[in-house]
Structure 1
Amino acid sequence: MAFPSRLCLLLCLISSLFILPTFSFPYTLELSPIPINNNLLSPKDIIVELAKSALERAYYLKRQNKISSAPSYDLFPRYGGYTILLSFGTPSQTLPVIFDTGSSFIWVPCSFGFELFIFNPELSSTNFPVTCNNKKCAWLDEPGTMASCPDCLQSSPGSCTEPCSYSRAYGSDITSGNAIFENVNLPGKAPNEIFMGCSPLTTGDIPQGIIGFGKMPMSLPKQIRLNKFSYCLLVHKFDSTRQSTKLILGDSGVIKGIKYTPLLKNPSTIPANGYYYIKLYQINIGSKIVKIPNDIVVPNQNGNGGTIVDTRTAYTYMHPTVFDLIALAYQDQIPLDEKDRVSLLQTPGGTMLCINVTGIDFEKDLVVPKMAFLFKDGVKMDLPVANYALYDQDTLCLPFVTPTNQTGDGTGPAIILGSYQQANFRIEYDLKNKRLGLKKQICG
């Protein structure tokens, strides 16, 4: 009797090979910077535009729970972001979408006709509407989003089967649509059904959609149960380069030389509970040490303070107190006869530290103090010069911004680590072990 039982077990194991999904970790996606049109803007104009974009993004991340008081700004910053190509539905429809570690909602532009890079749910056999009585519809009840579902328990039963619709605000722009269940098709992996938004209506410029990689349940890593993801961003240039890098989903094994700093416990306040917080406690500038005040290092329970990592912020956003300390440390190391070259560049809504380099050979004569960020557990991020010195023919600027109007700046994250400072570093989000890995390397 033992032989038939063993034979049955063997046959079952063999048959299971044909029904299990045939995929292996890791798998990669192309990650491309949103190009800069250098035919329309000078390098100095681009510096100002990137500063404006970073400040607008910071305002959104810091004040989602006060969206009605937000100023007018673009739904999608024109510069500083990255896109990936993802396929949705059956058969697959491939769309460019913005990769975003600072949000968790997934949504794409939708149309019921044929339009390039627009998802048509009617052409997919795996599209399924989310109704108001589905528990996941409550994922849309967060700052900046208004779900239109009535309370099913107090209204007519028929209303519970209405579509789970939403209007999501990004400053002065809004995207509206219905939540759906649909397949996301990743390379080498069986399709995953995910909860996502399908937006036929968006004000402002035509968007590309967003893939949220944050920490909330609706994010892509949470929905497809990723333990890790990592990337290595390209150094930005003042051109329209189409070069791309890799976004790696899943465990790529041990990375030699990588150092880890813990991801901090998130405040319970929305939207702070969806961000990736790390402990940045010191910034070295040449021979000077900038100690970050304790009330800025770690977020409080209301989500105020702390440092978050964001792929859609161009220049690193600094709390005014930290920015002033950096400016002083930097200026202290400029020769006396060159100090009059240092100034604060006023950008729309904010300030940057810049140096007039007219008549100076940048490569030979101008010594830029080295910069490094120090994180918890001894992780040191030695920044390449390209990560903290932007220059054109007559101006050099540090890619750090602070708001001109400091009123209310105590709300939200105090420091937002932007994509310029992340460039040429392998950055690994080890979600299983709740830590962030950093290793300097050449990207692209």
Structure 2
Amino acid sequence: MNSYLSRFLCLSSLLFLFPSISSLADNKSIAVTLSLSKFNKNPSSDPWQKLNHLASASLIRARHLKNPQKSSLVYKTPLFPHGYGGYSISLSFGTPPQTVSFLMDTGSDLVWFPCTHHYTCSNCSFPNQDPSSISNFIPKLSSSSKIIGCQNPKCGWLHNSDVKSRCSGCEPNSRNCSQMCPNYIIIYGSGSTAGILLSETLDFPEKKKPNFVVGCSIFSAREPSGIAGFGRGPSSLPSQLRLKTFSYCLLSHSLDDTKESSLLVLNGDDKTTGISYTPFVKNPTTGNPAFSVYYYVGLKKITVGGKTVKIPYNYLSLGSEGNGGTIIDSGSTFTFMEKQVFDLVAREFETQVKTYKRALHIEALSGLRPCFGVSAEKNVSLPELVFHFKGGAKMALPLANYYSFVGNTGVVCMTVVTEGLVGTEISVGPSIILGNYQQQNFHVEYDLENQRLGFRQQSCGK
């Protein structure tokens, strides 16, 4: 890592020759094409190894969300291949605009892209794809690119509020300080990225947003594509655009690539009927600062086959320091549950399912549990999994959203993960993380103006 960082620090001093900027009208609807991430194929031909990989990636993502690392120069997180089923969007930055692909992530806030021709991605896999085809942003080709200065208040979005005290060679009240904002390092569940902050123009077809803070990453580990942070932090896309709402409908996927797409809608007037709403839970004010980025929701109970799983209250409730509670995250594939919660839910399935025999060998190979052998059954019948939220909203999952067939083995496994698959248990952070696999074929609305989450089951295909 040190050799990469030294290379990054060297490159960051050679990058730029920058000038000026333009304008935007707020609160108008913007639609962006949303598609399955195209670099998320798992090259393994063994279906249970593929599920094991996805379960591992989801769990590592959960471990990061539960115990996110501060932006520092130290890696303390395991690095996994970028093989989970993410969803990507395309955004254009610069003057003239350059279009870049991003993973949409509601569990983080910074928007960043691979930057310059010298972008380095360590331990990145590019199955069936030339690494040079990854879209990079080239700052010197944009007349609106500017480096964020150390004295700029926006520099504090990624660094501590006392960042100005670390501006070497600048007077405390100087208006002419040329020192740039310190380099950032962002750590995700499956990788990390490092770079410098830019002020750029975000270019939509009929609107422009000048002075948008975006990360210019020069080095990444296991993160070949840029990430568009949609979390609740000040640097996220919704925060910088001052969105009142955003919504999406995630296509059902088979853990592979597809050319089909659905829509991510920014600031749309949602005319979808039959939406159930639950209020966002106020973010913790103490504990890990990263918890302030998450979308917490009030999960009251979980039922399996109509029977309430008796989950201790401290797991469902959000503590003052960010422990416990539930978040919704588009960047996780499989839903994560704290081991004590998962064991109760899994045991209820194991107790209620009498028709099918447990496939213990597949459980050992895939890392998922419980798995059942359904052989050649055309119509598989398993207990219904329902999440019940404050305000009366219920998310009743179709079977395809919480059980998956393992290749052609005639076995189905529950697509929920818990601690024990990778590393030791982390007892801090959210107890439950609702992943995108469970959100398939649901219209999901983030009503930021009214501080609530809405959802309705529907087909997301064309």
TM-score range, shorter chain: 0.7 to 0.9
Q: Is the 8 A contact 2:90 2:101 kept in 1?
A: yes
SS of the equivalent of 1:403 reads coil
Count of aligned positions: 417
Map 1:288-437 to 2 at 5 A.
288-335=307-354, 338-341=356-359, 345-346=363-364, 351-357=367-373, 360-364=375-379, 366-392=380-406, 393-394=408-409, 395-404=411-420, 409-437=426-454
Distance in 1 of aligned mates of 2:186 and 2:168:
22
Is 1:253 the counterpart of 2:258? The answer is: no
Q: Is the 8 A contact 1:27 1:188 kept in 2?
A: no
Select which of 62, 73, 77 maps to 2:79. 73
Q: Is the 8 A contact 2:150 2:177 kept in 1?
A: yes
SS of the equivalent of 1:231 reads strand
Q: 1:329 to 1:69 in 2, by over 3 A?
A: farther
| 2:28 partner amino acid | F
Structure with bigger gyration radius: 1
Q: 1:341 to 1:123 in 2, by over 3 A?
A: closer
In the alignment, what sits opposite 1:126? 144
Select which of 59, 64, 71 maps to 2:63. 59
SS of the equivalent of 1:427 reads strand
Distance in 2 of aligned mates of 1:324 and 1:153:
56
Distance in 1 of aligned mates of 2:26 and 2:148:
28
| 1:70 partner amino acid | K
Distance in 2 of aligned mates of 1:110 and 1:20:
24
Q: Deviations over 1:245-301 (max 9, x none)?
A: 110000323321111100010001311111000011211211422143211112111
| 1:83 partner amino acid | S
Q: 1:111 to 1:153 in 2, by over 3 A?
A: closer
Distance in 1 of aligned mates of 2:31 and 2:43:
32
Q: 1:344 to 1:410 in 2, by over 3 A?
A: farther
SS of the equivalent of 2:292 reads helix
Q: 1:340 to 1:140 in 2, by over 3 A?
A: closer
Please say which of residues 126-135 and 412-421 is displaced more in the overlay.
126-135
Q: 1:193 to 1:254 in 2, by over 3 A?
A: same
| C-alpha displacement of 1:197 | 1.2
Q: 1:235 to 1:170 in 2, by over 3 A?
A: same
Map 1:47-126 to 2 at 5 A.
47-65=51-69, 70-74=76-80, 77-111=82-116, 117-126=135-144
Q: 1:173 to 1:288 in 2, by over 3 A?
A: closer
Q: TM-score when scaled to structure 1?
A: 0.85
Q: 1:323 to 1:94 in 2, by over 3 A?
A: same
| C-alpha displacement of 1:330 | 0.3
Distance in 1 of aligned mates of 2:195 and 2:164:
10
- Over the aligned positions, Cα root-mean-square deviation in angstroms equals 3.0
Q: 1:156 to 1:148 in 2, by over 3 A?
A: closer
Select which of 179, 186, 193 maps to 2:197. 179
Distance in 2 of aligned mates of 1:347 and 1:148:
52
Distance in 2 of aligned mates of 1:57 and 1:21:
35
Distance in 2 of aligned mates of 1:167 and 1:20:
27
| C-alpha displacement of 1:418 | 0.1
| C-alpha displacement of 1:339 | 4.6
Q: 1:142 to 1:304 in 2, by over 3 A?
A: farther
| 1:104 partner amino acid | D
In the alignment, what sits opposite 1:150? 167
In the alignment, what sits opposite 1:27? 30
| C-alpha displacement of 1:373 | 0.9
| C-alpha displacement of 1:370 | 1.4
Distance in 2 of aligned mates of 1:50 and 1:206:
16
| 2:112 partner amino acid | W
Distance in 2 of aligned mates of 1:421 and 1:212:
20
Q: Is the 8 A contact 1:24 1:189 kept in 2?
A: no
| C-alpha displacement of 1:184 | 0.6
| 1:186 partner amino acid | F
Distance in 1 of aligned mates of 2:300 and 2:309:
9
Distance in 2 of aligned mates of 1:271 and 1:24:
27
Q: Is the 8 A contact 2:419 2:425 kept in 1?
A: no
In the alignment, what sits opposite 2:253? 236
Q: TM-score when scaled to structure 2?
A: 0.82
Distance in 1 of aligned mates of 2:118 and 2:43:
34
Distance in 2 of aligned mates of 1:274 and 1:206:
20
Q: 1:169 to 1:389 in 2, by over 3 A?
A: same
SS of the equivalent of 1:263 reads strand
Distance in 1 of aligned mates of 2:26 and 2:244:
15
Please say which of residues 337-346 and 301-310 is displaced more in the overlay.
337-346
Q: 1:142 to 1:345 in 2, by over 3 A?
A: farther
Q: 1:77 to 1:159 in 2, by over 3 A?
A: farther
| C-alpha displacement of 1:26 | 1.7
Please say which of residues 239-248 and 307-316 is displaced more in the overlay.
239-248
In the alignment, what sits opposite 2:235? 218
Distance in 2 of aligned mates of 1:241 and 1:290:
36
SS of the equivalent of 2:314 reads helix
